Each structure stands twice: as C-alpha cells, then as structure tokens.
Amino acid sequence: MADPMTQSTQISSSQGLADGQNSVAAKDSKMSDSFLSSSPVSLIQSPQVKDLVHWRDPKKSGVVFGLSLLTLLSLAAFSVISVISYLLLALLCVTITFRIYKSVVQAVQKSNDGHPFKALMEKDVSIPPETFHKHVDVSLTYINRFLKQMSKLFLVEDLIDSLKLAVVMWLLTYVGAVFNGITVLILADILLFAVPPFYEKNKTQIDHYMEIARTQVNTTMAKLQEKLPGAIKRTKAE
C-alpha cells in the first residue's frame, strides 16, 4: 500500500498540473477572444455595418452603396492616380468656392465672422502615438497569423487543408481568366448590399439548404480522409 505522504504528494502534483493546464487554456481562450474582437470579422458584424448592409436606413445605405460603387466603377475606367486626383480636385474646388463666397458675403455685409472653416481648422487631426502603436500591433498579429497559416498549408502539415487550398487556387485561375480584380470588387460590393436583405427575408429556406450542403461536404471529406494512408490522415492537436 502506498505511503499516505506519497499519495498526498501525487495528488498535489496532479492538482498543480491541472491548474497549470487550465491556466494555459484560459490564457489561450483570452488571446483568441481578443484577436476575434479586433478582427475584420468583428468589424463586419458590428451593429453599424449590419445596419448599412441590411438597409435599416435606406438613405444612409444608399449613399454608402452609391459612393462605393461609383468609386469602384471609376477605378475600372481610370487609373488610381486619376481617380484620387479628381476626388481631391473636386473637394478643393468646393472648399475654395465656399471660401470665396463667404469672403464676398462678409465684404458686402461688412461683418467680421472670420474664416469659414475656423472651427474645423482648430480641431486636432494628429494621430496619437498610442492609437498608432495599437493599430500596428493589431496588424502585426494579422500578419504573423497569416504567415503561420501559409507555412502550414504550403509545407503540407495537414494534407486535407493543403488540398482545399489547391482546389481554391485552381478555381481562382478560372475566375481570373474571366474577371479582373476591380470587377471582383464591384461584384463583391453589390453582393454585400444585396445578399443580406435577401437572406433576411428567406432565412429559413436558405439555412435548410445550407445545412444539407454542409452535411454533404462533411460526409465527403470524412470518406476521403478514411481512404488516405494512416501517415497522412488529419491528426487532431491534443
């Protein structure tokens, strides 16, 4: 029979190991939640963006959709430099015209209202160092995660995932043969503002068919994985 002191030591060691594992798991969960909260997905799921793409305020959504589509169409017809130059030139023409108009009005009325953009000129438009460092750190997190994922895919850590990437790249070669990058962005912009209202109206039917498709894909992937040699089957991280 084991000595009571030895049993007590083993129990304490087991509890300490369990506490350490729980601490690591909690830390990983916290880091994951922090990353997801600052990811582009969280930005898309933010209430402001949801209200825009679901057309809660038709006027605001229409303005945003119209401006974004007009910008993309301009980029499709002209170079980036030309589009930026025309936009800045139009803005400059508006501000100069308004400045001259206010100066003439002040001269006629003999008033001394000062510069029409004085309130805007007094605002601080500088970027605080803390904000800059915060965004740099977030961007670095994205870059490191992307590099790590690409390393796993191209070095075939998981054959299934690498095959998925190969299929996606193969399909994109056909997309690239038909559309250029700007055309894809235009289609994405249209779908971004068209799909959410359609999905909201037909949510039940779409979810039903999506579940059927997901089940079929999972079944096919499971059968494919079973046929692979044991050395290259998907392994779950412990």
Mean pLDDT of 12-19: 48
pLDDT for 13: 47
Helix (H) or strand (E) holding 156: none
The answer to whether position 124 is within a domain reads no
User: Tens digit of pLDDT for each residue in 161-178?
Assistant: 888 899 999 998 998 888
Total domain count for the chain? 1
pTM, full prediction: 0.58
pLDDT for 161: 86
The CA distance from 2 to 59, in Å, is: 78
The answer to whether position 127 is within a domain reads no
For the cut 80, the answer to whether the pLDDT of residue 6 exceeds it is no
The answer to whether position 35 is within a domain reads no
For the cut 80, the answer to whether the pLDDT of residue 234 exceeds it is no
Domain that holds residue 169: 51-114+139-226
For the cut 60, the answer to whether the pLDDT of residue 75 exceeds it is yes
Largest CA distance in the chain: 107
pLDDT for 94: 94
The answer to whether position 215 is within a domain reads yes
DSSP string over 107-152: HHHT-----TTHHHHTS--PPPHHHHHHHHHHHHHHHHHHHHHHHH
* Band of pLDDT at residue 100, cut at 50, 70 and 90: very high
The answer to whether position 69 is within a domain reads yes
For the cut 50, the answer to whether the pLDDT of residue 93 exceeds it is yes
The answer to whether position 45 is within a domain reads no
- List Cα–Cα distances, 187 to 3, 13, 40, 192, in angstroms: 73, 59, 19, 8
Kindly report the average pLDDT of the chain as a whole number: 79
The answer to whether position 157 is within a domain reads yes
The answer to whether position 205 is within a domain reads yes
